[in-house]
Chains A and B, each alone.
Chain A
């Protein structure tokens, strides 16, 4: 995979964290811009046109979720949210508003860069792919033929229920992105089932039994506890 050099906007009120995130990004060759609040961040996002945003949720002059909503009106750049532990509701709100991934403080430079890489890769992939160009998905020993709606595992055809198929394709089409229960419910069951999170969990458990080699330690359909799921290739 070619090295991606990107413009990254860091919106964070703590100067030390901001500095370390910038240093880490610059060490990988990215260009980093710093902002210390929502207003400043939106201004920079409009003028610098970043390829990715690292956003702290607890900002002094406003709610990070509002920043995401505003950003999403004109930009599809991936957003990685920084949040503290035991703040699942904030994470979910941010993800539902359009954030792509989150990191719990404290986090190391390695973790951060892994997430940044994954998001940039996914974004580049989505931007570069043309409709119908690649109608297959391949991960581990599983092969999904999107055009023929066929799933094979290790060459053997795998029978998935329609719901399982929709779940799998919805998640696999956006790898490394955290998808909340609510988003999955809306995508697979349609609106009106926002509270029935056990639907997703039951079918996800069944899906794992079919495509994971060890369903209790999944490699592809990863659980983000209390938040949702992430598909990893």
Chain B
């Protein structure tokens, strides 16, 4: 039973993959063995059908190559405009990725037809390759149909070139092909294809015609066709297996036998990686690719050191997890990595040992990890010699090496010159010692090559000037041959060791320097309190360490990237934006917008992305080596962590400040309200009690008492309004909202205004279908009281006031109408402002806070309040409140749909 249960991890992966797929667009590839089989035609035919079915379709780019039938097939299919890219003195018409993304954003089921997946974009485009465009389209949820030939598949690339002798440079990672949602094989038997070729139906670029003629041989076509069909069959098989897994058919969960491709510094890394990719694909297992950087490798020229990185990039494209390890010895590091990552098979290139006493990598791996399988990949002949020659050239290209060699010769000559007067006093063996000393000096000062030269020159000079017969290369005593040989060997070995030591010491110093300046930077960052300081520290570090200009960009409140002061580099906003949005490095030396002069690194902090760091290396076009790049990454993460730390310090400070000020404001408000109200209350009360004194006051005195009382009451109202406004504005008011009928609030408002409204006719019309509203009854009552007070204040005594409540869709409108002069013209909105009154300097008391308070309260309820002058003259103030979702249960055991309508007024 338990065997039937799917592996939970696998199920989780499946679910995650399904989710990711649901968001992504779907990719359909029309796959063929070679050009001319009709992929584009098939794609267009499918597109036509999809368009008829109502899909939002655009043709992104289709190469018709002037073929009439394809041209006809495109016909009136809607096309996206092409982008014109200036290239040297021409203008290239390229696919417009941004236009496609815009189109995709406008249509939910957008489908894009885009020919030639393997196409390389013109320099200056966002991505170097079209398949990267396609990835972005898919990520944006746009479906894409595209075409490709078998020879463009990365992992088959060298096989195809082996078969056909024609190397194709435009390749597509297998991952893209394997992850495509659908692959349609467009097949045409070779004979028919050749006929079409003869009939001129297959497009060939004029300059490629000869190579192509070679390509389109029947043998080649058969092989390509088989490759294409087999590759597709593999895919179908995978789908089948995926289906089986999903349907819980599998009984045994196999151990994943993951592979590790060991990339060496040589040219063959690529071959190892491709082989490993194929093995991994067949076994359907994960694989890693690793390059071990040993101290010895640091002596290599930069371009040689770049090579493994390119290979690792290739491996990544082929689907591997790639890593660079730094270790003194490759085999141990590989074994440790393999064990850590549970990789049971190591794939390495087969190397012949250079010397009999050397142990090959395979042997060392076997010694260290006898539980690991080591697969050796056959490597072709020896293109390495060529590579080595190239390397030598590169080395020659380093600054002024010939001077070093010249100096080596000069040192030897000087030694010979210095030694010649001593020849009568010194034994020849001691003169040999002098030469050895000179060679050690050369090795230390000028390095390995000059040391080798010095060894040979030294032996020659020694022979010529000192070994009898002197001043000839002839040797009288054969014993001296041994001296020469030993001297040469000792000179070479000492020279090599010394030079090696020196490079290692230099490398160590350099590293130490890097680490020390990182340490210094992190110490400075620890003391930084503002983002500007972080930017400045980072810029200083980058300038000192790389001589590079830099800029630190952080998002502002509106999420726009802004350069912090102190930036010395100017960054293309697009590159920075891209890197920030994706959280990936962009610009120079990466896959995205490599033409940009800047390398833009995302500043990833534990919580979120804090910005980007742009680095513009000072001079030279070389890509950054692995070590500087590592240093840069570390620098970027240090900056990110500092920015985050500063951010949280700010957050903590501002929230403490906010709490503090809120506390202060509240205590101030309550103190003021108590201290102002208490004397007013006493004033009102005492004015009242004055009337009760004996002997009874005269009528004039009573009048004065009434005035005192009224003034105190007015003052009290004013204080209340001011305090209410202050509370509302400071956000200190917490709504105490409860579901209630509007009628009750209207009732209590009318009750509190009863003395003011005495003698007026009040008409209250509340519709029967008003639902319960979610209100703070005290505050809404205040709104109504203020409106009613205004109505009483500004209209002639005795004129009627109407209160009308109706339901308008999902809002309830409550109006207070009077029959007075109406609102001052053009000031219907201004009267809601603080300290605004309808009529300036009017005799009516008040400071103009009532309506402002009304508006603040109603807005806090999510409603609106407006005032208008009605056509028939009076003013109408309308409060609109949202209905929300009233509770259904009225607590009487019956769920009432309309609890208020149930009872009719008797």
Contacts and interface: CB of A to CB of B under 8 A. Distances in A.
Contacts of A161: 892
B748 A224 contact: yes
Interface in B662-718: 673-674, 677-686, 688-689, 691-693, 709, 712-713, 716
Interface in A38-72: 58
Contacts of B739: 197-198, 201
A226 B778 contact: yes
A17 B678 contact: yes
A198 B777 CA distance: 12
A202 B688 contact: no
B747 interface: yes
Contacts of B776: 226
B711 to A, nearest CB: 12
A6 interface: no
A163 B713 CA distance: 41
Contact of A27 (B684, B689, B889): B689
Interface stretch (B141-149, B504-512, B609-617, B898-906): B898-906
A193 interface: yes
Interface stretch (A102-110, A115-123, A132-140): A102-110
B685 A198 contact: no
B900 A217 contact: no
A141 to B, nearest CB: 12
B230 to A, nearest CB: 71
B715 to A, nearest CB: 9
A189 B889 CA distance: 13
A106 B713 contact: yes
B723 to A, nearest CB: 8
Given A86-B724, A107-B685, A110-B688, A203 B750 contact: no
Interface in A174-218: 189, 193, 196-199, 201-206, 208-210, 214-218
B791 to A, nearest CB: 16
A206 B902 contact: yes
A153 B906 contact: yes
- Most chain A CB inside 10 Å of its own CB: which residue of B679, B683, B688, B748: B688
Interface residues of B, number: 63
Judged by DSSP, the binding face of B is: helix
B905 A209 contact: yes
Contacts of B745: 223, 225
A40 B845 CA distance: 42
A88 B712 CA distance: 23
A84 B678 CA distance: 9
Contact of A196 (B674, B720, B778, B891): B891
Nearest to A188: B891
A168 interface: no
Most buried by A among B686, B747, B776: B747
Given A24-B689, A88-B778, A225-B778, A198 B906 contact: no
Centre residue among A21, A107, A216 by max chain B CB count within 10 A: A216
A5 interface: no
Interface string B710-745: 001100100010011001000000001011110111
B680 A106 contact: yes
A205 B716 contact: no
Contacts of B692: 23-24, 27, 109
A109 B685 contact: yes
B575 to A, nearest CB: 57
A16 B681 CA distance: 9
Interface string B769-792: 000100011100100000000000
A158 interface: yes
B903 A209 contact: yes
B143 to A, nearest CB: 51
Contacts of A226: 736, 776-778, 781
A223 B887 CA distance: 21
Contacts of B892: 161, 163, 199, 203
Nearest to B680: A106
A202 B890 contact: yes
A78 to B, nearest CB: 20
A17 B751 contact: no
Contacts of A199: 890-892
A205 B682 contact: no
Given A108-B685, A199-B891, A206-B900, A14 B678 contact: yes
Contact of A107 (B681, B750, B905): B681
B431 interface: no
Given A88-B736, A108-B709, A223 B685 contact: no
A148 interface: no
A33 B148 CA distance: 102
> Of B682, B745, B781, B899, which is in contact with the most chain A CB atoms at under 10 Å from its CB?
B682
Contacts of B686: 16, 19-20
Contacts of A86: 673, 720, 723-724, 727, 778
B684 A106 contact: yes
A216 B903 contact: no
Contacts of B344: none
B428 interface: no
Most chain B CB within 10 A, of A203, A204, A225, is at A225
B764 interface: yes
Contacts of B764: 214, 216-217
A222 interface: yes
Contacts of B744: 201, 204-205, 223
A107 B709 CA distance: 10
Contacts of A110: 688
Contacts of B712: 106
A216 to B, nearest CB: 4
B762 interface: yes
Nearest to B887: A198
Contact of B720 (A16, A21, A85, A210): A85
20 contacts: A16-B679, A16-B686, A20-B682, A21-B685, A27-B689, A106-B712, A108-B685, A189-B891, A202-B900, A205-B741, A209-B905, A209-B906, A210-B905, A216-B750, A217-B747, A223-B748, A225-B777, A225-B778, A225-B781, A226-B781
Given A106-B685, A206-B899, A223-B744, 13 more contacts: A20-B682, A20-B686, A86-B673, A106-B713, A112-B685, A196-B887, A196-B891, A198-B739, A205-B744, A210-B905, A216-B766, A216-B803, A218-B747
Interface of B: 673-674, 677-686, 688-689, 691-693, 709, 712-713, 716, 720, 723-724, 727, 736, 738-741, 743-752, 762, 764, 766, 772, 776-778, 781, 803, 886-887, 889-892, 896, 899-900, 902-906
